[in-house]
């Protein structure tokens, strides 16, 4: 059976936002409890600034308050942060980056540089490999 519906759970990471300066867009803290896999799906809308770049950072922590958060090492990522990054001419594209580390809490940060105009972005956390199946949540 080709059932993906009962095996994936989606969490809001970064609500759709128009970023018009160099302020970082920081996701919700995603709780991975009960799931072995996490992918952040990044949706890029129109990027108006002709020289803006957007760096991606994934951080993790054992505590929900993120008091000891650290950047995730490359060995604990599927894909790279550089590969998930984007720039001014990447309008209406998507990016993804996966987390395979062991920490319970994970967050995504997208940081613009050289951005003086509207850039539309959002992100969703996709959780998979639930400890209890079917997931359906």
CATH architecture of 5-130: Sandwich (2.60)
At 83, is the secondary structure helix, strand, or coil? helix
Helix (H) or strand (E) holding 21: none
The pLDDT profile of the chain, 137 residues, written as one tens digit per residue, is 577 888 899 999 999 999 999 999 999 999 999 999 999 999 999 999 999 999 999 999 999 999 999 999 999 999 999 999 999 999 999 999 999 999 999 999 999 999 999 999 999 999 998 887 666 55
In DSSP terms, which residues pair with 12 in a beta bridge?
Answer: 124
What is the phi-psi region of residue 81: left when phi exceeds 0, alpha when psi lies from -120 to 50, beta otherwise?
alpha
Strand 105-113 vs strand 53-61: parallel, antiparallel, or unpaired?
Answer: antiparallel
In DSSP terms, which residues pair with 71 in a beta bridge?
Answer: 59
What pTM was computed for the model? 0.93
In DSSP terms, which residues pair with 31 in a beta bridge?
Answer: 105
Under a CB-based contact definition with an 8 Å cutoff, are residues 114 and 55 in contact?
no
């Amino acid at each position: 059976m080709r059932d993906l519906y009962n095996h994936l759970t989606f969490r809001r990471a970064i609500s759709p936002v128009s970023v018009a300066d160099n302020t970082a867009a920081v996701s919700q803290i995603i709780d991975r409890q009960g799931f072995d896999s996490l992918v952040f799906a990044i949706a890029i809308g129109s990027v108006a600034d002709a020289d803006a770049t957007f760096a991606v950072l994934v951080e993790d922590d054992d505590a929900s308050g993120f008091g000891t958060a650290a950047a995730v090492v490359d060995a604990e990522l599927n894909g790279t942060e550089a590969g998930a990054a984007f720039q001014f001419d990447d309008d209406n594209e998507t990016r993804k980056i996966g987390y395979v580390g062991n920490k319970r809490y994970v967050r995504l940060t997208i940081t613009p540089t050289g951005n003086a105009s509207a850039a539309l972005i959002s992100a969703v956390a996709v959780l998979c490999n639930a400890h209890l199946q079917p997931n359906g949540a």
